[in-house]
Amino acid sequence: MPVTIKDIAKAANVSRGTVDRALNDRGGVNPDVSARIKTIAAEMGYKPNTIAKALATHAKPIRLGAVINSLGNPFFDKVLEGIHAAVESLHDYGISIDIRKIRGYDPQRQLYEMRQLREIGIDGLVITPVPDTKVRDELNDMIRSGVRVTCCNLDIDDVNYQAYVGCDYFCSGQTAGEIIGATTHGEANLAIITSSHALYTHEMRVKGAESVLKEYPNIHICEYIEAGDDEDLSYHEVLRLLKQDKKIDILYFVTGGTTGGLKAIHELHQEDRLRAYTFDLIPAVIEDLKSGLIVSTIDQQPYMQGFQSVRTLFDAILSRHTPARKQIFTELNIKNRYNISS
Amino acid sequence: MPVTIKDIAKAANVSRGTVDRALNDRGGVNPDVSARIKTIAAEMGYKPNTIAKALATHAKPIRLGAVINSLGNPFFDKVLEGIHAAVESLHDYGISIDIRKIRGYDPQRQLYEMRQLREIGIDGLVITPVPDTKVRDELNDMIRSGVRVTCCNLDIDDVNYQAYVGCDYFCSGQTAGEIIGATTHGEANLAIITSSHALYTHEMRVKGAESVLKEYPNIHICEYIEAGDDEDLSYHEVLRLLKQDKKIDILYFVTGGTTGGLKAIHELHQEDRLRAYTFDLIPAVIEDLKSGLIVSTIDQQPYMQGFQSVRTLFDAILSRHTPARKQIFTELNIKNRYNISS
DNA sequence: ATGAAAGCGCTAACAT
DNA sequence: ATGTTAGCGCTTTCAT
């Protein structure tokens, strides 16, 4: 039989209202009484009933906002799926979400949408924050004004957010490096295709792989290509590379530009000579896992990232107190042609 | 503004009680009136509020039972964690669980615990069912008497359960085969250590791997060892094998006996000469992933298996109607030394 | 067969 | 600063 606020009230010889105020730090309670109530609650092993809490609060529905750079990036489809599923699962709590999809890592556009949402009035925000000082400042400003924020997929420095939900990028790079080493038997001439050295997260993937690959004397990193977040640019760059450098036999796609790069390989009919290593399970990757061009890819649970971002926000909004800023790392999972389940 | 039963009551000119009775087919309501109420509810787009429903029903708590063969098998620790987490997450709904842990795949013991739980009285059961006709019959009998059942980790034929929650064993075998092929560069003399050919699920892992490895002309499966579910037996068998057959260089542990087998390798100081491929992330495996003896292991999300087993049960019990018997496959994920996150 | 009312655990507005 | 009370949406007696 779980202990309720009523039990505590009786034990502390106060009213239920007072217990509620004390336990939730709503103020207007004698500090001594408040402390006593809290002690008693702890002793009795009190756990608030979220259901009842939600029912009682239900009057004012929770409004969420999301700014996701999903346009033209199929990876984020899964993130959005997770977001929708989470909102759906919270339907009974009277929750709604306004999702703004933007293209690429553009701070201006992101700021615009953030301000729009802020004007409408939201209780929580899910965002894939661009590393930009203005974005950072706006986020901190929103947080100060009471909006809860979770950063999804992309972490950002100096923002006092609720949580970062995403993968450990350096670790994902190490994991990739290890696979490359093991499956090439330590013999490879590598080209690394990354989006931009400025994108810290992707740079971590490069560094992670390098840290492992340096153990292999016969694996040479011959080329670094920056393809932005642009499939077309990536396509042309990889095309150029493969035409000019015939000894490259392994391509390591850090992300962003993977689809374009794969297209270039096929166009030059070099599927047999080359092997590729990628991240995520976007359609183009799945196809070439099956064709055998891609040896393996590393999944970072995008669905989970979306799902958890929303749930974390919800939990934070429902329980008034601010839990510590935290990082929720999703699992990194290696996939080959046989275990592409989702 | 969601429509409530109050709205329907007003629209239909009846009381809330009648609406509730009609909508939930509780009987004792004029068929015509009932039909009218249902029509109106549908027209208004009524969706019952599960939260309020749970709060109101809260009086009679849901009682769950579990029979898990976790003793001496560290894999199931994670399953149990998932079970506990799910029960915890449903705390507000007033749920409790009685977990019976048994050792190995013993039908007698399992039957005993099932009957015990049945006597106590439970609404739902999570079980790792041993393939046995008596177990099968008892399960079907329980189901007929109204108890909901989910099979966790182990599937069983001819049982009309709510759901099977676990991995696709054949697929996990294929995945392992593919890794072995890729990381040995198609050159290997393999020994397969399995628990028992009688355990259909583990046999699927062998078949799955074989189906992929037959593509590699220079990978030879030299030995099949049956080690039961016994670490000690496995230890001795592997010891014997390695002493006698010097050309074996790859060991494929299907599961059950992995810990014992690894111990044998270390004892003979053959860590450098041999490489192992395993399943799951049990402590011994994690250790040898780090040491480099194990190239990779395949995780099947045991936590998720436990978690989902309970949630599925809960959903089925709460929503009176019986959803179709279904199979919920957890993801299969390849892990190497760098992405052992959990 | 139907209505009225109490209550699940909590919050919030209103008294004191 | 603290107590009282009226709900949130639904279920479940108890009347009628």
Q: What is the DSSP string of A46-62?
A: ----HHHHHHHHTTS-E
The SS3 of residue B64 is strand
B339–A329: do the CB atoms touch at under 8 Å? no
Identify the closest residue of chain B to A177 by CA–CA distance: B338
- Residue B128 shares a structural domain with residue B96: yes
Within a domain: residue A58? no
The reported pLDDT for the residue numbered A57 is 77
pLDDT for residue A91: 79
CA distance B159 to B168: 18
Residue B54 domain-assigned (yes or no): no
Q: What is the pLDDT of residue B322?
A: 60
CB contact (8 A) between residue A51 and residue B49: no
Q: How far is the C-alpha of A100 from the C-alpha of B115, rounded, in Å?
A: 55
Size of interface A-B (CB pairs under 8 A): 100
Contact at CB, B54 and A51, closer than 8 angstroms: yes
Give A320's pLDDT tier (boundaries 50, 70, 90). low
Provide the terminal-to-terminal Cα distance of chain A, rounded to the nearest Å. 41
| Average pLDDT, integer, range B158-174 | 96
Residues B266 and B308 in one domain: no
In a domain, B267, yes or no: yes
Tokens of A68: 């996701």
Whether residue B84 is contained in a domain is answered as: yes
- B→A contacts (Cβ < 8 Å), by residue, are 2, 47, 49-52, 54-55, 91-94, 168, 171-172, 174-175, 177-179, 182-183, 185, 212, 295-296, 298-299, 329, 331-339, 341-342
Put simply, the answer to whether B338 touches A174 (Cβ < 8 Å) is yes
Residue A338 lies in a domain: no
3-state secondary structure A183-211: HCCCCEEEEEEECCCCCHHHHHHHHHHHH
Q: Name the band, by pLDDT with cuts 50, 70 and 90, for residue B2.
A: confident
How many structural domains comprise chain B?
3
Q: Give domain status of residue A56, yes or no.
A: no
Q: Are residues A175 and A260 in the same domain?
A: yes
B254: CATH:
3.40.50.2300
Q: What is the mean pLDDT of residues A287-306?
A: 97
Nearest Cα neighbor of B29 from B44, B43, B12 is: B12
Give the list of residues 6+ apart from residue A46 with CB closer than 8 angstroms, or none. Answer: A3, A4, A5, A7, A8, A23
* Eight-class DSSP state of B214: T
- Name the DSSP class of A321: S
* B115 lies in the same domain as B225: no
DSSP codes joined into one string, B99-133: EEEEESS-HHHHHHHHHHHHHH--SEEEE---S-H
Separation between Cα atoms, residue A187 and residue A181, nearest integer Å:
8
User: B interface mutation test: which of A62, A216, A328, A334 has the most B CBs within 10 A?
Assistant: A334
Q: What is the pLDDT of residue B342?
A: 63
A175 and A273 within one domain:
yes
Q: What are phi and psi of A210, to 5 degrees?
A: -60, -40
Point out which residues pair with B219 in neighbouring strands. Answer: B188
Residues B145 and B95 in one domain: yes
Ordered alpha helix ranges (H), chain A: 5-12, 16-23, 31-43, 50-57, 75-89, 107-120, 133-144, 169-183, 200-213, 231-244, 258-267, 283-291, 302-318
Taken in order B132, B138, B144, B146, the sign of the CA dihedral is negative
Residue type, B223: E
pLDDT in tens, B302-334: 999 999 999 999 888 876 556 677 999 999 999
Are residues B148 and B265 both part of a single domain?
no
CA–CA gap between residue B189 and residue B250 (Å, rounded): 6
Q: Are residues A160 and A175 in the same domain?
A: no
Query: pTM to 2 decimals?
Result: 0.91
Name A residues 2-41 whose Cβ lies under 7 Å from strand C. Answer: 2, 4-6, 16-17, 20, 23-24, 26
In a domain, B40, yes or no: yes
* Residues in CB range of A39: below 8 A, 6 or more apart: none
A187 closest CA partner among A211, A218, A222, A213: A218
Q: How far is CA A190 from CA A130, A214, A221, A236, in A?
A: 29, 12, 5, 18
Are residues B201 and B284 both part of a single domain? yes
- Number of Cβ within 10 Å of residue A85's Cβ equals 15
- Cβ contacts of A270 within 8 Å, gap of 6 or more: A242
Element (H, E) at B210: helix B200-213
Asked whether residue B340 is assigned to any structural domain, the reply reads: no
How far is B230 from A142, CA to CA, in rounded Å?
58
> By the 8 A CB rule, do A257 and A195 touch?
yes
Least confident of A86-95, A259-268, B2-11, B256-265: A86-95
**Are A268 and A316 contained in the same domain?**
no
Q: Which of A322, A321, A281 is nearest to A301 (CA)?
A: A281
User: B216-257 pLDDT, tens per residue?
Assistant: 999 999 999 998 878 999 999 999 999 998 899 999 999 888
Do A189 and A294 sit in the same domain of this protein?
yes
The residue range of the domain holding A32 is 5-48
Cβ distance A332 to B342 less than 8 Å, yes or no, reads no
Q: Are residues A93 and A239 in the same domain?
A: no
Instruction: Give the least confident one: A103-112, A209-218, B49-58.
Output: B49-58
